[in-house]
Amino acid sequence: MAGLTGRISTTIKAKVSKLLERAEDPSETLDYSYQKQVEQLQNVKKGIADVVTAKKRLQLQETSLQQQLVKLDTQARQAMSANKEDLARTALERKNVAQTELQSLDTQVKELEEQQQKLTDSEQKLRAKIESFRTKKEVIKAQYSAAEAQVQISEAASGVGEQMADVGLAMQRAVDKTENMRARADAVSELEAAGAFEDITAIGTGEDDIDRQLKQLTNQSAVDDEMAKMKAELGSGAPAASGGELGSGGAPSAGAGSGNGGGEQAEQSA
């Protein structure tokens, strides 16, 4: 059959026949094939362990980001209460970036869970075929003449060989996905290590490099909305801290348009 199915069939069949090349002495082939199958099963187990490790790493990052989120939110509130809007905005910008990152990590963890499930299913299928092959090879050794055994072995080994190629394919895909995620996770770690989500009270008034990088990543209108919400919340609890300042567009680093929008919202809900 030509087309898509033909192409992948041909590629896998070539791999399978490579696995079966040692077919001169049937009994040797049997044991050799079985040994290869068991090795492959070990590889799959290792592959599953790698995916689990990658997943755990992402989950640790999630926990750490969640802690940063709480911290940044607290700092934004404190800054806002002290009428330091610039500082509050910086904290909220960082919180926004951390939130986006957290959502992305969540998606990646789910994806790795899927990969883990697929590999576990593949492992079970391969294990069943290998067990079946093990039984059959003893029967072949005991009951068939060399010539007949040749045919029987070839058939049985093809079935397992195909499953091995299939598992190999699933492993390759899992490794590719895991590596992509590791690269991303490293990038987040670097941002974190550079202090991107750290204590904003340590920041001076001037913009540093991290600030500029974060600004590009931040959804400014989401930050404006949150600024407004926070003002409203603090405003209702402590009237002295807000009032007329809201309308004066007290967020110098924001775009004027979106800043006003946030202000209006705050006034309505206050």
Partner 1 sequence: MIVRIAGEDQFRLEDSEEAHLKELDDAVLQAIERGDEAGFHSSFAALLDFVRASGSRLSDEDLEASDVILPPSDTTLTEATDDFSGEGWLPE
d(CA 217, CA 219): 7
Q: What is the Cα 234 distance to its own chain's centre?
A: 37
**172, 180, 189, 201: which one binds partner 1 (CB under 8 A):** 172
Shorter beta-carbon distance to partner 1: residue 131 or 207: 131
Q: In angstroms, what is the minimal distance from the CB of 123 to partner 1?
A: 11
Instruction: Give the separation between CA 262 and CA 249, rounded to whole angstroms.
Output: 9
Q: How far apart are CA 75 and CA 98, in angstroms?
A: 14
Out of 51, 80, 91, 171, the residue judged to bind partner 1 by CB under 8 A? 171
Query: Which residue, 37 or 218, has its beta carbon nearer to partner 1?
Result: 37
Q: Cβ closer to partner 1: 6 or 255? A: 6
- Report 5-34 residues binding partner 1 (CB under 8 A): 5-9, 11-13, 15-16, 18
| Least gap, CB of 161 to partner 1 (angstroms) | 8
Stretch that binds partner 1, among 64-72, 153-161, 220-228, 244-252 (CB under 8 A): 153-161
* 246, 267 contact by CB (below 8 A): yes
- The residue among 3 and 206 lying less far from partner 1, judged by its C-beta, is 3
Question: Site map for partner 1, 89-128, x if CB under 8 A?
Answer: -----------------------------x---x-xx--x
Contact status, residue 77 vs residue 209, Cβ threshold 8 Å: no
Q: Write down the residue that tokens 């072949």 correspond to.
A: 140
* Residue of 96, 94, 100, 99 whose CA lies nearest to 200: 94
24 Cβ contact list (under 8 Å, min separation 6): none
CA neighbor of 230 nearest in space, from 202, 213, 250, 207: 250
Q: Which residues would be at the binding site for partner 1 (CB under 8 A)?
A: 1-9, 11-13, 15-16, 18, 118, 122, 124-125, 128-129, 131-133, 136, 155-156, 158-162, 165-166, 168-173
